[in-house]
Amino acid sequence: MIVFLGLILFASPYIAWKVYEHRAVLARVPPPLEVASVEYRLEEPWGFGPGGNETGFVVYRLSDASTRWVQQQGAQLGERLPGGSKVWLKTPVGDVSDRESWHSYDRDLAMMSAERLKPHPATVAEYLEKYGFTIPIQKDREVDVDRAIQTPGSFYNMGKGGSVTVIDPDRGKVYFFYAG
């Protein structure tokens, strides 16, 4: 019994941290949407403290009820989310209006891993490498989010700290990624 209590006492900070971390990951999805599962998550830090960099990509599967709700909202989905249509923009992501956020290094080829033609559609890979730190996202995940940001029907929000949230009604998913 003492060993069991000692184990609980020893493990409780770790468990508390994991619960806190899980809640923080789920809090990235805007209300009233509900998450059924986190399908994919890759987050990596480089450095520590001021000047440190972090890059991450998370795919959330919405609950069946939330998927039906976002699909029923259609073109008005942005108006029904927190902040309304001023913060929830319709896709496709523009090539000109969002140039600084999505194509920030087009004029500095030394900062890019591959030369790109101008103009070109926004991609998650380009967004994530905006500070020179990229992560190896699974190709099928990258294709799905690129389709969501390059075609009409989805909504995106440019959030705090260099984050982007994309709601994809067709697939019943939310994509959250950041480079900062």
- Asked if the model's pLDDT at residue 21 lies above 90, the reply is no
Q: How far apart are CA 32 and CA 92, in angstroms?
A: 23
**Domain-wise residue ranges, the chain:** 31-179
Q: How far apart are CA 134 and CA 119, in angstroms?
A: 22
Tens-digit pLDDT profile for residues 81-132 = 999 999 999 999 875 445 455 655 545 555 555 555 566 788 899 888 877 7
- Helix or strand run (H / E) with residue 156: strand 155-158
Q: How far apart are CA 65 and CA 28, in angstroms?
A: 18
SS3 sequence, 44-99? EEECCCCCCEEEEEEEEEECHHHHHHHHHHHHHHHHHCCCHHHCCEECCCCCCCCH
Which range, of 43-47, 138-142, 160-164, 169-173, averages the lowest pLDDT? 43-47
What pTM was estimated for this model as a whole? 0.80
- Asked if the model's pLDDT at residue 165 lies above 60, the reply is yes
Average pLDDT over residues 36-61: 80
CA atoms lying within 13 Å on the CB side of residue 56: 20
Q: How many Cβ atoms are within 10 Å of 101's Cβ, its own excluded? A: 15
pLDDT for residue 17: 45
pLDDT for residue 96: 47
Which of 51, 45, 59, 39 lies closest to 164, judged by CA? 59
pLDDT for residue 18: 43
